Copies of this chain bind each other. A is one copy, B any other.
């Protein structure tokens, strides 16, 4: 090791490796990132990466797992069933955007990089589908009038898409979390106000 750093127990090194991997993946993308580059960033030698993670794909998958876990942890508060739907949404929005703001790299790797990888795009999409489903239910449960055949699924798709776009700007530091949350919140409630069909 060129560095002065001493030998470290496996668990610790593994986290360092993931830190480095997330770093480089988020900066340069999956394909443009070589294992050598990650090893260099983590200040270790390449065979260590293979010893602990087996392959580049598995290393990337491990990144996704760790960051994904942190992500859902940030959303946990919104699951509180004692909250009204409207508060749940607000809570989820703040958790989501807060996380993205605090962990730009995680967001980049989890969503933007993973979406570009044939092998991972499926799992990202299915996570997103779950999110859309949840959103649709939330919208449905908070509109009481037995109204004009709303297609909540469709609205949820648009809303989640809007959320992702706004999240990118939040991650880029162009928009504040609170501002973004306000916008998405009002857009969600606004989108519910009865849509005319095939006008």
A197-B182 contact in complex given A162-B161, A165-B164, C-beta closer than 8 Å: yes
Measured in the bound complex, the distance between the Cα atoms of B157 and A169 in whole Å is: 9
- Copies of this chain held together in the complex: 2
Q: How far is the CB of A57 from chain B (nearest CB, A)?
A: 13
B161:A165 contact, CB within 8 angstroms: yes
CB-CB nearest 5 A-B residue pairs: A161-B165, A116-B116, A158-B162, A162-B162, A31-B31
Give CA–CA (A32, B30) in the complex, Å: 12
Contact B118 A29 (CB under 8 A): yes
Inter-chain contacts of A183 with B (CB < 8 A): 151, 154-155, 158, 195
- Of chain B, the residue at the smallest CB distance from A32 is B118
Q: Is the CB of B182 within 8 A of A199?
A: yes
> What CA separation (Å) do A193 and B155 show in the bound complex?
17
A124–chain B nearest beta-carbon distance, Å? 12
Mark A3-46 against chain B: 1 for CB-CB distance below 8 A, else 0.
00000000000000000000000001101100000000000000
Query: Chain A interface residue count: which class?
Result: 35 or more
A197 to B176, CA, bound (A): 13
Is A191 touching B195 in the complex (CB atoms < 8 A)?
no
Bound complex: CA A158 to CA B118 (Å) = 27
Q: A158-B187, A159-B162, A161-B164 provided; 10 other pairs, C-beta below 8 A?
A: A112-B115, A115-B116, A151-B179, A154-B183, A155-B183, A158-B162, A158-B184, A186-B191, A187-B191, A190-B190
Residue A163 at the chain B interface, CB threshold 8 Å: yes
Residues of B within 8 A of A29 (CB): 116-118
Q: Scoring A residues 168 to 180 as 1 if CB is less than 8 Å from chain B, else 0, what string do you get? A: 1100000100111
